[in-house]
Amino acid sequence: MEEDLPRFAIDIPEETSAGSLAPAAFFADEVYKDYWLEIGFGTGEHLAAQAGLHPDIGILGCEPFINGVATLLTTMAKAQVENIRIWPDDARMLLDALESASLSKIFLLHPDPWPKKRHHKRRFIQTETLDAFARLLRKGGELRIATDDADLANWMLSKTWSHPCFDFQADCADDWRSRPGDWPETRYGQKQLAGQPVYFRFLRV
């Protein structure tokens, strides 16, 4: 990991002003047709799978836990996937630095539910976070959220549903109860640790 992480790590210079970094800047001479972001990628299964399926997309991944970063780097090496860049720190720092309308997809899959009421302010989906997502996503861009925690699902749906910049993409319950075909399964998703997993999709309007 000591050799691979510097190659794939995202660097945000100290003098960077808010909203000034284009995702393309993290990929040296590589040019991609679009850029996606996954926040809290865990061991990176979904991230690596999406990168392998879409070699023409540059994908940014945020994960503060070093074990998860190490596992992703091993997967990338085995699969020879190189269209990923990693931010091994608090995702909010990267959100603040990126240019407006620079992403076409954002993934937030199985975030920490912070079940105790006094900890709800630590949940990642808040109005302020959705404001940041709305700034970063292009018009028609997609926000995908997954969880198997019923209380967190209600929280995330309520927050995002009421946000004026997002349109919920579901006509019936099966639209959010069933994992879309282009949404790679992960071992965590298969466990269904807390209950019925949900797969929410929102478009930036």
Q: Is 26 helix (H, G, I), strand (E, B) or coil?
A: helix
Residue 24 lies in a domain: no
CB burial of 12-31 (b: ≥16 within 10 Å; e: otherwise) equals: beeeeeeeebebeebbeeee
The pLDDT of residue 57 is 97
Distance CA 157, CA 205 (A): 16
| Pairing verdict, β 137-147 and 198-204 | antiparallel
Residue 4 lies in a domain: no
The pLDDT of residue 19 is 87
Domain span including residue 128? 34-204
Residue 71 lies in a domain: yes
Residue 74 lies in a domain: yes
Catalytic residue among 29, 90, 96, 112: 112
Residue 23 lies in a domain: no
Neighbours of 101 (CB within 10 A): 14
What's the pLDDT tens digit per position in 93-137?
999 999 999 999 999 999 999 899 999 999 999 999 999 999 999
The pLDDT of residue 17 is 85
pTM greater than 0.75 (yes/no): yes
Q: What average pLDDT does the chain have? A: 91
Number of domains present in the structure of the chain: 1
Residue 20 lies in a domain: no
Burial classification of residue 122, based on how many CB atoms lie within 10 Å of its CB (0-12 exposed, 13-18 middle, 19 or more buried): exposed
Distance CA 133, CA 143 (A): 8
Name 49's Cβ contacts closer than 8 Å, sequence gap at least 6: 184
The CATH code of the domain that includes 151 is 3.40.50.150
> Is 175 marked active-site?
no
Distance CA 64, CA 124 (A): 14
Residue 18 lies in a domain: no
Residue 7 lies in a domain: no
Backbone dihedral region for residue 176 (phi beyond 0: left; psi -120 to 50: alpha; all else: beta):
alpha
The pLDDT of residue 169 is 93
Strand partners, 57: 34
What's the pLDDT tens digit per position in 1-56?
667 788 899 999 888 888 889 999 999 878 899 999 999 999 999 999 999 999 99
What's the pLDDT tens digit per position in 146-192?
999 999 999 999 999 999 999 999 888 777 888 877 777 766 666 65
